[in-house]
């Protein structure tokens, strides 16, 4: 849609005060304040405002009290210049698996005050973001107070804006020194990680709402099953790439989250979760700790399905550990039909998104039901969303996802929050900046933000706590 390319007025970059926005408390006001033209032009604002007014009174559409409504980002994808990380190194190799380097990304490292203020002004009460371990411990054993202070300021800004924080301690990227020593495959990895967790919690813990040791620690296993257009054999391609990376950086043990031996990485992550969690709790015992699992809505293929095998292989060990956690973060985007040893391609004729996943918002309802039953702990949807340049498809996707989530909650599933991926159009790892997951567009030349209609729509639901 055109609105993603429409620059916003300069004033958008100035902090937008919550008071100003709440004076109107409607999508129309939000759009007026931030200078986006698309909502007003389509008349969507009036409908949204009317919807917000009528739905807040309708108890059947209301979500539980204190429900968390948020957006998520991850350090490497938005901060920019994460130069001490393993991924920065890989991105800049001549034969990189990354389509382009992350560069300045969304410069969220500097622009977080306005981004956080915008999130709150839109109506959200929660922000999920991550620490960059590579900034905090750029060389082994050297911890930067200044970088810890940076994250402390981010957490404090959230508090000023009455946002609950979901803080991910490790979202894929790792320090370069840690990767050179074999990353999660090194037997010393869990202790190295626990030391970082302890330092970070000591510095930041009092401001954290919910902590997560790992974002999607099941992904290394999941890669073996994935089957997307143009990406079949992804796991093999990554294995080949690892050999090249090791040669190019002259580090025979080098391994990152994505590149390495999936089973050894999984074992390292499992042990690191336990030690990291213990380290966090030793500083702040009452801080809720969990992790965020990547969970597709797995459905049996009509013939020769291996659904049970996939679940046991990918989620099994993590769901078992999650039973001891304070909550489970569930991250889901679509469904997959599970065939023999691999997921099947999307059904013929199915609508797919920019990254090739089937448009299937009902995954949220199905996955929270499954995850809750499998673990018995409170569930927070910590990622869900869609990569599209047509924001109308995002609006429909979110509305259907939330309708399904509400059905599950009404049936008694203990879900505490819904966090959308993502606040900003950002660096989608190996795919670069092309996929648009954000409810706010980013012009990367000027770093100007443009609020999309989906942001106002979801912000209104958040503000009224009701569909």
Task: Give the whole-angstrom CA distance, residue 144 versus residue 213.
Answer: 20
Instruction: Residue 384: name the closest of 320, 437, 461, 447 by CA.
Output: 437
- Which of 215, 325 has the CB closer to ligand BGC? 215
Its sign, for the CA torsion 460, 464, 465, 467, is negative
The two beta strands, 440-443 and 448-451, are antiparallel
Q: State in angstroms the smallest separation of the CB of 80 from ligand BGC.
A: 15
Q: State in angstroms the smallest separation of the CB of 221 from ligand BGC.
A: 13
Q: Which residues pair with 383 in a beta bridge?
A: 331
Contacts of 112 (CB under 8 A, 6+ apart): 154, 157
- Which of 383, 391 has the CB closer to ligand BGC? 383
- Which of 297, 383 has the CB closer to ligand BGC? 383
- Which of 405, 430 has the CB closer to ligand BGC? 430
The total number of residues shown for the chain amounts to 467
3-state secondary structure (DSSP) of residue 299: strand
- Which of 413, 423 has the CB closer to ligand BGC? 423
Q: State in angstroms the smallest separation of the CB of 385 from ligand BGC.
A: 7
Count the Cβ atoms, other than its own, within 10 Å of residue 41.
11
Give CA separation, 458 vs 127, 398, 467, in Å.
Answer: 14, 8, 9
Q: Are 428 and 434 contacting, i.e. CB atoms less than 8 angstroms apart?
A: yes
Q: State in angstroms the smallest separation of the CB of 222 from ligand BGC.
A: 9
Task: Give the whole-angstrom CA distance, residue 466 versus residue 406.
Answer: 10
Positions in the binding site for ligand BGC (CB under 6 A): 74, 77, 215-216, 294, 331, 383, 421, 428, 437
Task: Give the whole-angstrom CA distance, residue 232 versus residue 343.
Answer: 10
Cis peptide before 422 (omega within 30 of 0): yes
Task: Give the whole-angstrom CA distance, residue 353 versus residue 356.
Answer: 5
- Which of 82, 331 has the CB closer to ligand BGC? 331
In order, the DSSP letters of 265-284 are HHHHHHHHHHHHHHHHHHH-
Give the DSSP H/E element, type plus range, for residue 68.
strand 68-72
Distance of CA 44 to the CA centre of its chain: 27
Q: State in angstroms the smallest separation of the CB of 428 from ligand BGC.
A: 5
- Which of 129, 151 has the CB closer to ligand BGC? 129
Q: State in angstroms the smallest separation of the CB of 123 from ligand BGC.
A: 23
Q: State in angstroms the smallest separation of the CB of 429 from ligand BGC.
A: 6
- Which of 34, 223 has the CB closer to ligand BGC? 223
Q: State in angstroms the smallest separation of the CB of 77 from ligand BGC.
A: 6
Q: State in angstroms the smallest separation of the CB of 422 from ligand BGC.
A: 7
- Which of 245, 419 has the CB closer to ligand BGC? 419
């Amino acid at each position: 849609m055109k609105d993603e390319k429409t620059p916003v007025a300069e004033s958008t970059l100035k902090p937008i005060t919550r008071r100003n926005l709440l004076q109107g408390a409607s999508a129309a006001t939000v759009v007026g304040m931030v200078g986006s033209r698309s909502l007003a032009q389509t008349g969507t604002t009036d409908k949204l405002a009317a919807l917000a007014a009528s739905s807040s009174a309708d108890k059947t559409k209301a979500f539980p009290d204190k429900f968390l409504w948020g957006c998520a980002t991850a350090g490497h994808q938005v901060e920019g210049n994460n130069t001490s990380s393993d991924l920065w190194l890989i991105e800049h190799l001549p034969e990189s698996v990354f389509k382009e380097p992350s560069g300045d990304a969304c410069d969220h490292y500097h622009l977080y005050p306005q981004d956080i203020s915008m999130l709150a002004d839109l109506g959200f009460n929660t922000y999920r973001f991550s620490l960059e371990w590579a900034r905090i411990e750029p060389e082994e054993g050297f911890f930067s107070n200044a970088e810890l202070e940076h994250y402390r300021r981010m957490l404090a800004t959230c508090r000023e804006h009455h946002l609950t924080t979901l803080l991910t301690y490790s979202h894929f990227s790792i320090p370069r020194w840690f990767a050179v020593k074999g990353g999660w495959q090194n037997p010393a990895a869990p202790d190295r990680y626990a030391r970082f967790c302890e330092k970070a919690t000591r510095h930041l813990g009092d401001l954290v709402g919910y902590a997560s040791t790992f974002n999607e620690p099941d992904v290394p296993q999941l890669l073996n099953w994935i089957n997307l257009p143009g990406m079949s054999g992804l796991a093999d391609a990554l294995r080949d790439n690892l050999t090249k990376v090791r040669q190019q950086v002259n580090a025979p043990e080098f391994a990152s989250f994505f590149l390495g031996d999936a089973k050894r990485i999984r074992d390292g992550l499992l042990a690191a979760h336990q030690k990291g969690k213990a380290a966090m709790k030793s500083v702040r015992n009452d801080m809720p700790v969990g992790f965020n699992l990547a969970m597709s809505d797995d459905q049996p293929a009509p013939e020769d399905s291996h659904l049970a095998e996939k679940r046991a292989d990918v989620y099994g060990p993590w769901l078992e550990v999650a039973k001891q956690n304070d909550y489970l973060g569930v991250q889901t985007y679509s469904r997959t039909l599970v065939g023999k040893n691999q997921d099947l391609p999307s059904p013929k004729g199915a609508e797919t998104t920019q990254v090739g996943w089937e448009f299937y918002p009902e995954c949220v309802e199905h996955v929270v039901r499954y995850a809750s039953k499998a673990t018995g702990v409170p569930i927070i949807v910590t990622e869900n969303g869609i990569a599209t340049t047509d924001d109308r498809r995002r609006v429909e996707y979110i509305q259907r996802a939330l309708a399904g989530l509400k059905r599950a909650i009404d049936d008694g599933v203990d879900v505490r929050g819904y966090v959308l991926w993502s606040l900003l159009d950002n660096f989608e790892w190996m795919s670069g900046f092309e996929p648009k997951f954000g409810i706010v567009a980013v012009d990367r030349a000027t770093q100007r933000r443009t609020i999309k209609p989906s942001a106002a729509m979801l912000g209104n639901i958040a503000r009224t706590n009701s569909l």
